[in-house]
Amino acid sequence: MNPQVLGIFWPFGVFMIMLSVIGIYCMLLTYNLVRVLIGLELLIKAATLLVLTVGYCNGHIAQAQALVVTFIVIEVVVMTVAVGVVLGIRSHNGSLDVRKIRNLKG
């Protein structure tokens, strides 16, 4: 890879990895289901940033944009259904705490 292109890509790559670490840490260590969704959202943002940066560096920004638009549509649908599931869990269990969801235990 061209060193100039790598010089553009690598700072974005470092921050993309940092954003992924924040999202994974949030998903692993939180007990609140809404915060799990926020962690998932951060991970999706990191993936979006990666796709756009690679498209920019390769000179294929139009294809990257088309892919990002598809990502955003899928992201919204996933979040809407996940929020519905979270609200259903809350109405069944009375809590958003994952430690109190024991219906499928065993």
**Residues in contact with other proteins by the rule CB under 8 A:** 1-2, 5-8, 10-15, 17-19, 21-23, 25-26, 29-30, 32, 34-35, 37-39, 41-42, 45, 48-49, 52-53, 55-56, 58-70, 72-81, 83-88, 90, 96
Minimum CB distance to other proteins, residue 106 (Å): 25
Q: Please, what is the minimum distance in Å from the beta carbon of residue 54 to other proteins?
A: 10
Please state, in angstroms and as integers, the Cα–Cα distance from residue 21 to each residue in 25, 37, 39, 64, following that order: 6, 15, 10, 23
Bin 26: left if φ > 0, else alpha if -120 < ψ < 50, else beta. alpha
Shortest Cβ 86–other proteins spacing (Å): 6
Report whether 94 contacts 88 (CB < 8 A). Answer: no
